[in-house]
């Protein structure tokens, strides 16, 4: 089952935690299994400190008995564990389905080692199956949508189940930008980052150092 694979990948990544580490925790359904594992093993790392990428993760983590520290006071972490929406053989990924990619990228960039976790359905030969989320300033919604369209995207404003515009923890909007193909992820990342009003995007091209991918009960470790 897919959930069993998510759990196996998450538990493999959690095994990298050591006492005294500063650990960033991502957001999403696979990360929820990592949080559960951390909660069960918390006593093994009495001096470890944990940091969250979203309000949802903070709530779940604290409910599991794991305190969350203030990341704003940190310049560097030892380890980050997070899920992906898709990942290619070069450990390039698209993230942001949970809406937290801006904070996730900050945590991933601050970490000396970033570990991705996923079930086998998230492996792709090339990026582009999933849309690329772009967090935008509400003031610039139409402008950024037009600029992403000029890059070849079909942008869609992310909505909630109640048909209101989805808001990030920062109060911003998300455009889910679907591309027919991403021929050059690096070039696209630079172009998206250069759009005024685009605050962050879900292309994680260099941040991931390793990945644990589980499929049919078997965990594969990939290293950059």
Residues involved in catalysis: 104
CA distance 169 to 190: 24
In this structure, what token pair is assigned to residue 121?
């359905």
Q: 11-14 contacts: CB < 8 A, separation 24 or more?
A: 11/37, 12/117, 12/212, 12/214, 12/219, 12/221, 13/81, 13/115, 13/117, 13/212, 14/38, 14/41, 14/81
Radius of gyration of the chain (CA): 17
Instruction: State the burial class of residue 162 (Cβ atoms within 10 Å of its Cβ: 0-12, 13-18, 19+).
Output: exposed
Which of these, 94, 114, 86, 111, lies nearest to 210 by C-alpha position? 114
């Amino acid at each position: 089952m897919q959930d069993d694979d998510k759990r196996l990948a998450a538990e493999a990544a959690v095994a990298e935690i050591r006492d005294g580490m500063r650990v960033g925790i991502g957001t999403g359904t696979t990360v929820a299994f990592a949080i559960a594992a951390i909660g069960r093993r918390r006593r093994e790392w009495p001096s470890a400190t944990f940091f969250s990428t979203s309000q949802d993760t903070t709530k779940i983590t604290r409910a599991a008995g794991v305190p969350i520290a203030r990341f704003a006071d940190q310049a560097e972490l030892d380890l980050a564990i997070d899920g992906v929406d898709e990942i290619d053989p070069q450990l390039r990924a698209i993230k942001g389905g949970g809406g937290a990619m801006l904070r996730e990228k900050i945590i991933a960039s601050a970490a000396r080692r970033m570990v991705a976790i996923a079930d086998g359905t998230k492996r792709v030969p090339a990026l582009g199956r999933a849309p690329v989320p772009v967090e935008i300033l509400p003031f610039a919604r139409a402008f950024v949508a037009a600029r992403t369209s000029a890059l070849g995207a079909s942008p869609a404003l992310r909505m909630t189940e109640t048909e209101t515009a989805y808001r990030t923890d920062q109060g911003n909007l998300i455009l889910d930008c679907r591309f027919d193909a991403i021929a050059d992820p690096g070039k696209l990342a630079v172009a998206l980052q250069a759009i005024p009003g685009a605050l962050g995007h879900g292309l994680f091209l260099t941040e991931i150092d390793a990945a644990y991918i589980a499929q049919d009960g078997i965990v594969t470790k990939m290293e950059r």
